[in-house]
Amino acid sequence: METDVLIIGGGPAGLAAAIETATRGLDVTIVDESSSLGGQLCQQTQLIRPLPSVYQPMRGFELAKVLTEQINDFTVGTLLNHRVIGLYADGSVGLSDEEKVFPVKAKKIVVATGAAEQAVAFPKWTLPGIITIGAAQTLVNRDFVMPGKEAVIVGSSDFALDVASQLLEVGVEVKGIVEKNPAAAAREKEKTDALIGRGIPFYFNSFIKEARGNGQVEEIDIEVNGEILTVSADVVCIDGGRSPILDSFYQLGCSFGYQKELGGWIPQYNRQFKTDRENVFLAGNAAGISQQGALLLTGMIAGISICEDLQTIRSGEAEEIRDALWEELKLSEYKDVWEGRTKHIEKFSSPVLKDQFIS
């Protein structure tokens, strides 16, 4: 099959790119592994802000619905329950619907594959009941399953604290939040204050020394300032940070750079959110871990740039829109992330890793 624009990943960034390209007359196809559009937004009950000026602040799952409704008015093909398998020699992307593998030839590709949660290793971290913070949220908000009765949270990012609150709401006892640094990592101080207000202990300068349990986590040892504190828990939620999912970029032959503020290894791209492979664009967390509002903006920029390349919008107009979106992006993400992104773009022509298949 053929399409003007193939968008890999139907999360917020992919949907934003789809809206920009489909509303400007392009034939757009979105592929996503799951059975619905919206990506991680679908299980996010927290309020998302700031959002690009065209949207009012709303909860994650509401935003997923608003974005999905917008593309429904246009000719956007959605290949749900489809996944990318790899790449053909002629550049076509190989998809599978679990019955066959078939090529899709696209004039432009947007990779918006999002981020993956990182592991934190300690003795017996592989015991059942020890899960990622994102998995805990999915269980509670999407599957309506209680992950356990007594939880310990490892890590104190904004996201970890959001999920801690959500666990409390459904009646999980949060026994403590373990943070290796001397202060909470969350940027929004009120999140920390709210949990402290509810009597949730924060253990700073701390880490998990060991987990124990018979076929399932039962208790953990937390090392707090050199002392061991044993806490009973049947679920331990690990926030090891997130990093961009890169498999598709790697197969497409894109170059990579390293930018700590954006989540580590990341495809090299320019102001158009275009990689150094002709016709391959990117958006969202795959272009650097940031906040939801910023992810939408990156998708919009990629979409506008594709419209410009395929001449459904004049170059001057595209440049104007793009400048405005970049201005808004600057205000929508944390300063260090923004600076990391700016640095990353400056290094467009000097990637750390390139020609990965040439030996």
Partner 1 sequence: METSYETIVIGGGVVGNGIAFHLSERYKEGVLVLDKKYPMSGTSGSTQAWVWVHNKTPSWYAEFNMYSAELYPYLSKKIGDVEYKRTGGLSPFFNESDREKAKQLAESYRKIGIKIKVLSREKVLEKEPFMNPEVAGATYSSIDGNVNPFRLIDMYMRASKKNGVHYSTYNKVTEIQKQDGKYIVVSDQATYVCKNLILAGGTWSRELGEMLGIKIPVNQLRGQILVSEPLKPFLNFTISGLRQANNGEVLMGYSMEQAGFNRATTLDVIQETANMAVRYVPALGKAKIVRAFSGIRAMPEDGFPILGKVPGFENLYVAATHSGVTLSPLIGTLITELILDGETSIPIDRYSLSRFG
Partner 2 sequence: MDKTTIICRCEEISYEEVEEVIEHGGRTFDDVKRLTRCGMGPCQAKICTGLVANIIHEHTALPLSEIPLQRMRMPLSPIKLEILATNSTAFSAVKSVLDEVEIEDGKVR
* Residues within the interface to partner 1 (CB under 8 A): 85-89, 94, 101, 103, 251, 253, 357-359
Q: At what angle do helices 292-309 and 315-332 cross, to 10 degrees?
A: 170
| Owner of token pair 């594959």 | 113
Shortest Å, Cβ 96 to partner 2:
6
Q: Is the Cα torsion angle 230, 231, 236, 240 positive or negative in sign?
A: negative
Both tokens of residue 79?
Answer: 């290949």
Instruction: Show the tokens assigned to 101.
Output: 């593998």
CA 189 to chain centre: 22
Instruction: Please choose which of partner 2, partner 1, none residue 121 contacts, taking the beta carbon within 5 to 8 angstroms, the exact cut-off set by kind.
Output: partner 2
What's the CA gap between 176 and 167, in Å, rounded?
Answer: 12
Extract the tokens encoding 205: 């300068």
CB count, 10 Å around CB of 298?
31
Residues 327-356 that bind partner 2 (CB under 8 A): 352-353, 356
d(CA 125, CA 111): 32
- Taking the C-alpha atoms of residue 202 and residue 179, their distance in angstroms, rounded to an integer, is 7
Cβ 276 to partner 1, closest distance in Å?
16
Give residues 51-110 in contact with partner 2 (rule: CB under 8 A). Answer: 83-87, 96, 98-103
Residue closer to partner 2 (CB basis): 84 or 304: 84
Residues 116-145 touching partner 2, rule: CB under 8 A, are 116, 118-119, 121-123, 125-126
Reading the block at residue 69, the tokens are 């409704």
How many residues at the interface with partner 2, by CB under 8 A? 36
For partner 1, the closer CB: 109 or 211:
109
C-beta of 86 vs 123, nearer to partner 1: 86
The residue type found at 239 is D
Pairing of strands 206-212, 219-224: antiparallel
CB of 94 vs partner 1, minimal distance in Å? 4
Q: Which stretch binds partner 2 (CB under 8 A): 66-74, 115-123, 143-151, 271-279?
A: 115-123
Asked if 216 is part of the footprint of partner 2 (rule: CB under 8 A), the reply reads no
170 binds, among partner 2, partner 1, none (CB under 5 to 8 A by kind): none
Residues of this chain that interact with partner 2 (CB under 8 A) are 83-87, 96, 98-103, 116, 118-119, 121-123, 125-126, 210, 240, 243, 246-248, 250-251, 256, 258, 260, 264-265, 352-353, 356
